[in-house]
Structure 1
């Protein structure tokens, strides 16, 4: 019988051979009545905008999705409807991003963001849960697993920050984040034209996605461009750069699935081996011809990997 890692890797290889880049996952996010699922919560002194869906009666482990720098909950548009078929799911706009206001004082940190996600899970009644994070969101997820080891039962990390971003080799993160921010400002003014033109998408999102011109225009805007240019960008960038959890990764007890694009231009794929070697229980899948946002670039592949991992968490395998 194939090992878990072999099954996950084979799933990734099959999907890559089918070349599913940019193909919409099922069920389609375009068929969801998103306003019906949007919520706001007052979590102490912090106001958080979030989306929540799924059957409250489902016994499967809930999942909370955490976006990265210059992101918003829509970074998970292609994944939320799929995950919600079998469980409760939620995705917040972190303070300073999306429609969540920047906290008073404007100071942000990775532990603060982890505490916000934990408080949101309290608000939703998630006693135990899986955390899925991309980029900065992956670093937040790892911090939360350290802070709440009895509650975080699994980690899904998509190109997580925390290795190169903890050293002086952080320039690609800064450049990519700044580029997305500028695209967001431009996109709010001319978003229709930018989204419709493949060359404009390639120019604005080329550091983030491997083939932005192959992403659907509405997904490029809703999932990437729309979340940029928010007041949390600079303080969150400062909070991420230099924050080093590498020596603590071995303390994380929860199993982890790490997914990385082989052509990630924001956080180098070589960082994946650090996560693989330092986490106690880690499955690593590297997707070929994929950039920094695998969950949006190859949602069908990603959702299959996610489903396989969540099944293991649900059964305690």
Structure 2
């Protein structure tokens, strides 16, 4: 059972790519939090920076919050309009239990925040599952984003062999069912630890574990179950530029860059060998340098 759960956790943290302590920081000004709404759901978001500057919308991953992007927003706000939302079900946003947490639902939340903030054609930055939300936004709202930054994004591509699809789906469903099962607490903790790849600093491990392990169970379980649905992962291509930064681990498939390039032909692809899954928190200066260079190419 442990071996199976370990494999399934790696599937999300790495092969999914295929198919409470606080970190010490310098004193910061009070954050500007705002609230957008859609279909009776309130979405909390941070909104800072110059109003007419290039907007960047940061989308967090599964069971996380927008604060996981603080090492980017606190720096980029001096030059860009930075927006970091808590997706519905997480952080300070509403957590309804009367609907599924689909990628389409999350994309609508992003759209509501963008409209409420009054920005046009932002760059989307998505970590882990947040990358999937960004891709869904591009599909649902063509022309309304000018680029995508992918921070160790989780995504699927379906097996080419039709006969391999049912076993693939069964394996993915095993992870989802496990996270909703009687051993959920232990599996969630194991799952979170697996994302560190043995590289994440201890202070960040404590913070990340505290946030993710305490996430709303309904939202966490539903979003995972919906995320792995095969219909979300039809092959499609977008013309906007993309920056992808991945943590290189043995489980990272060799064809990751190729598959990403099929979705984003205008792709800048980078692999790091010394970070865990939360690379934008672990090495913020290095990550911010890549992100700013990417943004400068669109800052017109």
Quickly name the TM-score band, shorter chain normalised. 0.7 to 0.9
Note the aligned Cα RMSD (angstroms): 3.2
CA contact (8 A) 1:135 1:160 kept: yes
Equivalent position SS for 2:236: helix
Q: Deviations over 1:35-69 (max 9, x none)?
A: x3222233341111221211224x3x200100111
Structure 2 Cα separation of the partners of residues 253 and 175 of structure 1: 36
Whole-angstrom distance in 1 between the partners of 2:128 and 2:279: 11
Q: TM-score, normalised by structure 2?
A: 0.76
Q: Pick closer, same or farther for the CA change 1:77–1:204 going to 2, 3 Å.
A: farther
- Cα distance in 1 for partners of 2:119, 2:264 equals 24
- Distance in 2, matches of 1:305 and 1:174, equals 33
Three-state SS of the structure 2 residue aligned to 1:105 is: coil
Give yes or no for the alignment of 1:253 onto 2:258. no
Distance 2:281 2:100 in 1: 29
1:104 is displaced (CA, Å) by: 5.0
Residues 148-167 of structure 1 mapped to structure 2, 5 A cutoff: 148-163=141-156, 167=168
1:42 aligns with 37
Contact 2:245 2:271 in 1 (8 A): yes
Map residues 1-317 of structure 1 onto 2, 5 A cutoff: 30-34=26-30, 36-57=31-52, 59=53, 61-103=54-96, 105-163=98-156, 167-168=168-169, 170=172, 182=185, 205-211=192-198, 214-215=201-202, 217=203, 219-223=204-208, 225-228=210-213, 229-230=215-216, 231-250=218-237, 252-263=238-249, 270-315=255-300
1:161, 1:40 → 2: CA distance?
27
Distance apart, 1:132 and its partner CA: 0.3
SS at match of 1:277: helix
> TM-score, with normalisation over the residues of structure 1?
0.72
Structure-2 change in CA distance of 1:128 and 1:298 (3 Å): same
Q: 1:183 to 1:294 in 2, by over 3 A?
A: farther
The 1:176/1:85 distance shift into structure 2, 3 A limit, reads farther
The one-character-per-residue Cα deviations of 1:6-25 (angstroms, maximum 9, x if unpaired) are xxxxxxxxxxxxxxxxxx9x
- State the aligned residue count: 264
**Structure 1 portions without partners, runs of 5+:** 1-23, 187-202
Q: Provide the secondary structure at the position in 2 that maps to 1:152.
A: coil
Separation in 2, partners of 1:110, 1:154: 18
**Contiguous gaps of at least 5 residues in structure 2:** 1-22, 160-167
Structure 2 Cα separation of the partners of residues 83 and 175 of structure 1: 39
- CA distance in 1: counterparts of 2:78 and 2:176, whole angstroms: 36
Q: Is the 8 A contact 1:54 1:84 kept in 2?
A: yes
Of the structure 1 ranges 223-232 and 37-46, higher mean CA displacement relative to structure 2 is found in 223-232
Counterpart position of 1:11: none
In the superposition, relative to structure 1, how do residues 245 and 232 fare at CA in structure 2: closer, same or farther (>3 Å)?
Answer: closer
